[in-house]
Amino acid sequence: MSDILDQIVAVKRQEIAAAQQKSPIDAVRFDAESRGLTRDFVGAMRTKISAGHAAVIAEIKKASPSKGVLREDFIPADIAQSYAEGDGKINAACLSVLTDRQFFQGGADYLKQARASCGLPVLRKDFIVDAYQIYESRAMGADAILLIAACLDDAQLRDFEAVALGLDMAVLVEVHDADELERALRLRTPLIGVNNRNLRTFDVSVQTTIDLLPRIPSERMAVTESGIASQDDVKRLRAAGVHAFLVGEAFMRADEPGDALARLFR
C-alpha cells in the first residue's frame, strides 16, 4: 500500500469503530437486509455495451486530496439527473458516489440524494476495509460497492464479496497491476476495474488498462478508471477493446456534467 492508502485505511478503521458505537453491526445488517431490490448494476452496463455504446459509470465527487474542491455548486441530485439525461442520446449507465468524508468531502447523504433523483444503479465509492461498511452501503441504498485490492488481502476480498453478493449487490474490484489482477480474477465478480494511477509515482496513463487487458478473460468486464480526459483517450481505449469507463473528475467542473459526458463519449 502507498502512504496515502495507509493513512486512509487507518482513518476508516477509526470511523468504523465510532459508527459501531452508535449503530451496532446487527442493527445495520438488519437494516441492509430489509431494503428493497437493488438496481441491476452489471445489467445496466451490459445493456449499453450490447447497444454499441460505452458503459459509463459517472462519478459524483466533490473534492480530491490532491486537487481540493472540484465543484463549489455541489448538488448530487442535480448532477445525477444530468448524468442520467446526458444530451438525450448519450448518457451514463450507472453512477458512482464518493462517500468518504475526510479525504473527498463526501457523505452517505450524497449517495441517497443521487439515487433518489434518477433510476440509475449506484456504486458506493469508498475504502471498504470491514464488512460493517458493506451492510452500511446497502442500508444507505447502494446497489454496488468498490473493493480495492491494494487495501485488502485475499481472505478479505473473498469474504467481502460474499457479503455483498448475499445482499444482491454488485462488486467492482479495483486493481493497479498484474499481481492485483491475478488476485481479483479469483473472485466471482465480472467487474474488474483497472486504475490507471500508479500507486508509487501517482502518474496516470491509460496504457495501464491496455497492457492488462489481454490478461482479463472475455467473460469479465474491464472497467478503466482514472486519466480519461479526452476523446482521444476514449477512442484509444475502445479501439483496444475497452468499453466500460469510470469517469468523474473530468465532468465535475462542467456546468452540465451530463453534456460533458456526452461530448467525451460522442
Catalytic annotation, residues: 59, 61, 125, 174, 195, 225-226
Return d(Cα 7, Cα 67) in angstroms, integer.
18
Q: What is the DSSP string of 47-88?
A: HHHHTTS-EEEEEE-SEETTTEES-SS--HHHHHHHHHHTTS
Phi, psi of 223 (to 5 degrees): -115, 115
Q: What is the DSSP string of 173-241?
A: EEESSHHHHHHHTTSS-SEEEEE-B-TTT--B-THHHHHHGGGS-TTSEEEEES---SHHHHHHHHHHT
3-state DSSP call for residue 245?
strand
Cell numbers standing for residue 161: 464479496
- The single residue listed with the C-alpha cell 444530468 is 82
Pairing of strands 68-69, 63-64: antiparallel
User: To 5 degrees, how large is the angle CA 155–CA 159–CA 165?
Assistant: 145
